[in-house]
């Protein structure tokens, strides 16, 4: 997915963060320092997710916060509590094979949406590393997906 480009229509702060992360090879931007509205400053782990566009077939890069459990990373399809799922999640539903960059480490993965007890457990962990997720959940009627990125050979 070397011909990947940043996803369109991202807020300027996300574009700046992604460019810093990518231009440094992951040495700068992996631990992202941010002060969300109504919260104190926090440091959140960030990764770069590359998906294949469900319509265009093009490769798109999305900067996302993540958590870890049992050596695997997980991400949250919150889109700030919007009524629809984010583009990266819809792309992943159509094409589950993705590329992930966590710091300087890059690997291929398959996105898997969690359910039941696993989702509940990972959601609680997600709210600990990014408390605004709880606010986003109150803004939408959809269940916000929690996705595990399972490494695959290749």
Structure confidence by residue, pLDDT tens digits, 41-91: 999 999 999 999 999 999 999 999 999 999 999 999 999 999 999 999 999
In contact, 21 and 29? CB cutoff 8 Å: yes
Of all residues in the chain, the percent with pLDDT exceeding 90 is: 90
* Bridge partners for 42 per DSSP: 34
CATH architecture, domain 5-151 = Roll (2.30)
Nearest CA to 18 out of 6, 9, 27 is that of: 6
pLDDT at 2: 58
Residue 121 clears pLDDT 90, i.e. is over it: yes
Pick the more confident residue, 10 or 78.
78
In which region does residue 45 sit, left (phi positive, over 0), alpha (psi from -120 to 50) or beta (all else)?
A: beta
Backbone φ and ψ for 31, nearest 5 degrees, come out as -100, 105
Report the pLDDT value the prediction gives residue 1, as an integer from 0 to 100: 47
Whole-angstrom distance, CA of residue 75 vs CA of residue 117: 16
Question: pTM (2 decimals)?
Answer: 0.94
Distances from the Cα of 9 to the Cαs of 1, 57, 81, 87, in angstroms? 20, 17, 17, 10
- Return the SS3 of 39: coil
2 or 20, which is more confident: 20
Would you put residue 26 in left (φ > 0), alpha (ψ -120 to 50) or beta?
left
């Amino acid at each position: 997915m070397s011909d990947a480009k940043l996803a369109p229509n991202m807020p300027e702060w996300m574009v700046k963060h992604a460019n810093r992360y990518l231009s440094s090879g992951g040495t700068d931007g992996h631990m992202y320092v941010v002060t969300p509205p109504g919260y104190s400053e926090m440091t959140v782990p960030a990764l770069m997710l590359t998906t294949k566009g469900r319509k265009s077939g093009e490769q798109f890069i999305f900067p996302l916060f993540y958590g870890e459990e049992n050596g695997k990373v997980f991400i949250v399809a919150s889109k700030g509590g919007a009524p629809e799922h984010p583009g990266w999640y819809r792309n992943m539903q159509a094409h589950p094979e993705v590329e992930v960059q966590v710091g300087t480490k890059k690997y291929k993965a398959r996105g898997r949406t969690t359910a039941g007890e696993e989702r509940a457990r990972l959601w609680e962990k997600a709210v600990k590393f990014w408390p605004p997720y709880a606010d986003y959940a109150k803004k939408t009627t959809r269940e916000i997906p929690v996705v595990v990125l399972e490494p695959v050979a290749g």
